[in-house]
Amino acid sequence: MPTQLTVDDARQSLNTHVEAKGREVFEKYGPHLGWNELVRLLQDRSCVRYPCEIVFDASVLQPGESAYPVAKGENPEEGFALCIHPYFAMQPARVPWLALYQLVLVNYGDFATSDDAETFGAAALGISKDDYYRALCEMTDELTASA
């Protein structure tokens, strides 16, 4: 009789997969993933499953939220607007850090967790998960302090 996979098995498998995808992004677009690399990455369907564009718009963001992907239609194939808080519009080197976290939701939907997003972003940037998490928290703290 075949072994039944549990939800935990599926989550671990996804986390392993997003880490591998993050390393692939790092190999293709690193070691310094800046604005220009992000623009190219968003066009790469082997790394970003659906069309995405960066939009500096806070209207859809929750308080204290720095970025979020918004579907442009009923089907994911219609694409997403990666809404980034306008606070970061004049900081293009930081935008990829915020966008990478959101790309996990674009690629894998609601099954993806914050841990998956941190794993992917850290691998894509070639840094530790702790360093990535800390940087995201600092950006969010800045955003909150500027409000």
Give mean pLDDT, residues 1-12.
79
Per-residue pLDDT of 113-128, as tens digits, reads 999 999 999 999 999 9
Give mean pLDDT, residues 35-42.
97
Count of domains in the chain? 1
**Ramachandran assignment for 80, one of left (phi > 0), alpha (psi -120 to 50 degrees), beta (any other):** beta
Give mean pLDDT, residues 16-33.
96
**Ramachandran assignment for 57, one of left (phi > 0), alpha (psi -120 to 50 degrees), beta (any other):** beta
Asked if residue 49 is part of any domain, the answer here is yes
Per-residue pLDDT of 65-118, as tens digits, reads 999 999 999 999 999 999 999 999 999 999 999 999 999 999 999 889 999 999
Cα separation, 25 vs 10, whole angstroms? 22
Check whether 4 has a pLDDT greater than 90: no
Label residues 26-47 b or e (16+ Cβ within 10 Å = b).
beebeeebeeebbeebbeeeeb
Asked if residue 47 is part of any domain, the answer here is yes
pTM of the model: 0.93
CB neighbourhood size of 58 (10 A): 18
Check whether 2 has a pLDDT greater than 70: no
Asked if residue 102 is part of any domain, the answer here is yes
Q: How much of the chain, in percent, has pLDDT values that exceed 70?
A: 98
The pLDDT of residue 144 = 83
Per the structure, the complete domain to which residue 117 belongs is given by: 19-141
Asked if residue 1 is part of any domain, the answer here is no
